[in-house]
Amino acid sequence: MANYKRILLDGYSYYITMVTYKRSPILLHDIALLRQSFAYAKTKFVFSIDEIVILPDHLHMILTVQRAKEYPEIISTIKCHYSKRCDAGLTKHIIQSHSRKKQGYNPVWQKRYYEHTIRDEKDYEQKRLYMYHNPAKHGYVENVEMWGYGSFY
């Protein structure tokens, strides 16, 4: 990962995956807080969430930003807002490494996230379909229309 470079292109959309620390299934316990975290980020930055699907331990979204250099800050803002307000009871069972504790990390999110710059309409549609089918892929529902946590349903 030492040579990894993010592609920062103004006006482009980005496919983002954010995963909870140790895949702890906490995101649906307080979906209102997650929505508040996105709303808070929108008070600081100009962006749109074109598509999103939220599962217990991760979420996928297609994010379109006005200024590409800001999208890492957008992700950080969402994570920080959620982490600081998340019910400590949801994460008390999660054992962190000493280094994470020392650095003051709350055991809510993995430090990193997956990002992919969407290059064209075909790429967009592939990511959108992957997101749409994700709840069924993970076995949460048989019929994706029954999943209530996302922009598709």
User: What digits encode the pLDDT tens for the residues 67-106?
Assistant: 989 999 999 999 999 988 887 666 666 666 666 566 655 6
Q: Is the pLDDT of residue 1 over 60?
A: no
Confidence of residue 16 (pLDDT cuts 50, 70, 90): very high
Task: Say if 1 falls within a structural domain.
Answer: no
The domain in which residue 22 lies consists of 13-142
Alpha carbons 17 and 50: distance in angstroms, whole number: 14
Task: Say if 125 falls within a structural domain.
Answer: yes
Task: Say if 82 falls within a structural domain.
Answer: yes
The mean predicted confidence, pLDDT, of the chain is 88
CATH number of the domain that residue 104 is part of: 3.30.70.1290
Percent of the chain with pLDDT over 70: 84
- Report the pLDDT value the prediction gives residue 54, as an integer from 0 to 100: 98
Task: Say if 86 falls within a structural domain.
Answer: yes
- Report the pLDDT value the prediction gives residue 7, as an integer from 0 to 100: 73
Q: Is the pLDDT of residue 62 over 90?
A: yes
Distances (CA, A) of 119 to 6, 12, 14, 64, 104: 13, 8, 9, 12, 37
Q: Are 70 and 64 in contact (CB under 8 A)?
A: no
Number of domains in the chain: 1
- Report the pLDDT value the prediction gives residue 91, as an integer from 0 to 100: 61
CA atoms within 13 A on the CB side of 67: 7
End-to-end CA distance of the chain: 35
Task: Say if 72 falls within a structural domain.
Answer: yes
Tokens of 147: 């999943």
Task: Say if 81 falls within a structural domain.
Answer: yes
Alpha carbons 74 and 115: distance in angstroms, whole number: 13
